[in-house]
Structure 1
Amino acid sequence: MSATRRIRFASRRLSAFRPAAVALLFALSGFRLEAEVFRFQYSEGDSYRINSLVQEKVYVNRAISHAAEITNRITVRVSDVRENEGRVSAFHDCVFQTSERTTNKSFSWGREYQSGFRRDELGVYDIDDSHFMPVVRNVPTFPDGDVQPGETWKGTGEEAHDLRDRFGIETPFRAPFAVTYTYVGPTELEGKKLHLIRAEYSIFFDTPAELRGKERTDGDYPVLTMGYSRQQLYWDNEQGYLPYYNEDFSIQLKLASGTVYEFRGTAEATVTEIKAMNRKQIVQEMNDEISKMGLSNVSAEDTPEGIMLSIENIQFEADSARLMAQEKEKILRIAALLERYPDKELLISGHTALAGTAAARQKLSEERADAVARFLVENGVRSEYNVYTRGFGAEKPLVPNTSEDNRARNRRVEITILEK
């Protein structure tokens, strides 16, 4: 199963109160218990980012296989807002990127998915089988009328998994479920008035015959999907969106061979509005600052992913990923530029010159990117969950590796302030 299990559209423990007790609690606390009409609201040109963190353990036949932390980074642009038969919907153009780590290293830049779909004001998706993301769909959905604190309603949703690599299933593997929602009542989170909604669902899904063993050569395939999800949704009814959510889950996948995989853990997510940068102006200002600071072999440029700061001829101890002292000082001075954009995530890319084997170059480039990322995190420039790394080996040289000067230029690390 894909490690991207818990990507959805949007952190604390589930309430144990029953609806009637919840209503009494809010009444005693001074909140007015009024009925609410919940609707998604869309504006043409809206742009936002969703960051989620999944902490899960993976079991095989009830024995622990490994633990992992997974970050999901989703950028969304809203367009084509329109009304049809009295219901508003909008098109969502999205890029999903998933990073995972199972050690103490940084989050490696992972697989990217493009996705596009419509979603209406009640939360219902219209998405075709060419898109594998998001995984959890139609959560939340809202009733046509209003709801009082303590009231419940029902909905339907589905989990759609990418099982191409493991099982050769070329379209999203969809497991439907029924959801029970409870409007707990108004609440306050980080000084903001929100509405707490509880969502719970269980999955018990027999794989359809037409998907069993499709295109597999080893005869193994998923026959049964089981599990549950328990969620707390913090809804902003003034803006019509979900700024926070958290969840605990357990999903099991039983194969025809009898092997059972289980994914058990927690997830949480936040939504952040994307404020466009004036890249041309910022690049010019950064290059001016770099010149004033006297930083050699450093330059800023605009790229499709964001504003990139390239550090050429970066110095590490011989054949290692240990930064030299002078490079640490240089990176700290560059950090002053990065700290001007604290809401932007960073992507650190490592490159090597053409020396040694391709495998060794790739490994070294990844380790050097990780060294720079960890140095930035240790010095408080970003949280470890907002820095990603990747290595290219010698696959993307700036200049031919025909001289020592050229090879020095190609030994570089790039720090990109992401706007993708």
Structure 2
Amino acid sequence: MRIYRFILFVIINISSTLHGFDKFSFIKDQSIYIESTISTSLIINGENHGVSENIERTIQKINELTKEGAFIQGVTYSLQKTGLATNKFFKVDDKYDYTFIKTQSGKETFKTGRFGLRDFPILPSKDLLIGESYQAGASYLLTMFNKKIPDLLLDINFVYRYLGDEIVNDTKYSIYSARGIINQEKGKALFQSYQILKILGFSDTIFKFNQTEGIVSSIEEIFDWCLILNDFTVIELSGRTMTAAKTPPPLPVNNMIKIIENKQFSDITLNKDLLLSINIENIQFAPDSPVLMDSEISRIESVIEILKSAGVSKFIIVGHTANVGDPGIQLKLSEQRAQSVFNFIMKKYTFDINNISFTGKGGTQPIKSNETEEEKAKNRRVEFIILPN
């Protein structure tokens, strides 16, 4: 009996200990890298339409500190798995640039861009006991993969529960669960717009808050949604999302610049914006073709040498053309050229195919005015956008 009384005493003392409420921390100019892997199964009227695999790679930089939080600039690359069964790879499906203000509790006010998840997770505004709960609303993006209905931004009510703390490698984490269900009242106007009779389902998540860094370091989500349309079409979406976040170490930019200068690489430049990128200007392909000229192989090898010297293993290859001719044709050609570079790299080097992706921008992002042949040559380039490992 004494043993049982002792165990009961310990449990009571643990569960009655207040947990000091968590807050997001913000340091000016600090960057946070977030990577989400999403697997979604789509069923329409009982017919299986397959499973999509997506990755979202995000970098967010704290530009300014505010009274209640921070002003943050972000960019998210949405990648979709494509290709044949024996040769699947991730291609950039979309890119979002955005700015927002975030409070220490996690409340977000977006200034520009970003059609997606907002106000999640929200941290508690008071001390909590283990097992104690609180509620907060959020905007939740439901990706439809369906021509009838676009992606939906839903109002969700989340019930959060504090589950306790854990220590891993001397770092203390707060662990929370959250269950989200649709706010049917707020969704009425949206439902009517797209002939939706009802949406049922849930999002269940577990997330860990890093008390040392003041960031949410991981989120695991299981979701299951069912849409019933006015014509009684039934759309079922289910799957899981795994998200990890970290503050990445700075890249050795000065060393990379020295390599470019010392080896006198031709028309290879380093650019620093929200992310670091390397440009190969005036890159040569066969006319109006994605076929890479043999003369350009050494320049691509030079870029890989720079990346490897910096320990880079994740990057996005972006093809650009001069803004000449039909924009649609130029967009397609720029993507095909980026894929040619991707194919060459994957054939020659041992990079993980899931870490390298590509896209094309046509002539929409010139670095020169495009008025002279020399300026057009500089706009005709391949860009390597460097992501944290």
- TM class, shorter-chain normalised? 0.7 to 0.9
Q: Which amino acid aligns with 2:231?
A: S
Gaps of 5+ in 1: 1-23, 83-88, 215-219
Q: Which residue of the other structure, out of 26, 40, 45, is the alignment partner of 1:43? A: 26
1:187 to partner: Cα distance = 4.7
Q: Which residue of the other structure, out of 314, 317, 321, is the alignment partner of 1:348? A: 317
Mapped contact 1:106–1:388 kept (Cα < 8 A):
yes
Mapped contact 1:132–1:160 kept (Cα < 8 A):
no
1:249 to partner: Cα distance = 1.6
Who is 2:117 aligned against?
135
Who is 1:265 aligned against?
239
Who is 2:198 aligned against?
224
1:278 to partner: Cα distance = 8.0
Who is 1:14 aligned against?
none
Mapped contact 2:154–2:187 kept (Cα < 8 A):
no
Matching of residue 195 in structure 1 with residue 173 in structure 2: yes
Q: Deviations over 1:49-98 (max 9, x none)?
A: 2221212223333323343222223333343343xxxxxx3034232424
Mapped contact 2:164–2:175 kept (Cα < 8 A):
yes
Who is 2:258 aligned against?
285
Q: Which residue of the other structure, out of 64, 74, 80, is the alignment partner of 1:95? A: 74
Structure 2 CA distance for partners of 1:209 and 1:159, relative to 1, 3 Å:
closer
- What TM-score does the superposition give when structure 2 sets the normalisation length? 0.74
Who is 2:91 aligned against?
107
Matching of residue 157 in structure 1 with residue 142 in structure 2: no
Tell me how many residue pairs correspond in the alignment.
366
1:391 to partner: Cα distance = 1.5
1:394 to partner: Cα distance = 5.2
Matching of residue 80 in structure 1 with residue 65 in structure 2: yes
Q: Which amino acid aligns with 1:43?
A: F
1:244 to partner: Cα distance = 1.9
Mapped contact 2:181–2:201 kept (Cα < 8 A):
yes
Who is 2:342 aligned against?
373
RMSD: 4.3
Who is 1:334 aligned against?
303
> Which sits farther off after the overlay, 100-109 or 203-212?
203-212
Structure 2 CA distance for partners of 1:248 and 1:379, relative to 1, 3 Å:
farther
Mapped contact 1:350–1:413 kept (Cα < 8 A):
yes
Q: Which amino acid aligns with 1:255?
A: L
Mapped contact 2:163–2:176 kept (Cα < 8 A):
yes
Mapped contact 2:251–2:310 kept (Cα < 8 A):
no
Who is 1:18 aligned against?
none
Mapped contact 2:61–2:74 kept (Cα < 8 A):
no
Gaps of 5+ in 2: 1-6, 83-87
